[in-house]
Structure 1
Amino acid sequence: MPFIKRDANGNIVSLHATPDEAAEQLPADHPDVEHFLARNTLPTPDAYKRALADSDQNIARVTEDLIHLLVAKNLILFTELPVPVQQKLLERERLRSHLQQSEDNFLDDSELL
Structure 2
Amino acid sequence: MLYAKRNPDGRIVALTETAEPGSTAVDMKDREVLNFLSINDSSFSPEQFLESSDAGTIRIIEDIVEILIAKNIVLFTDFPQASQKKLLSRKLARSFMQPESEELQDSEPRPAEQSRILIEDDDSFL
Give the TM-score, by structure 1 length.
0.48
- The structure with higher relative contact order (CA 8 Å, sep 6+) is 2
Give the TM-score, by structure 2 length.
0.43
Largest Rg, 1 or 2: 1
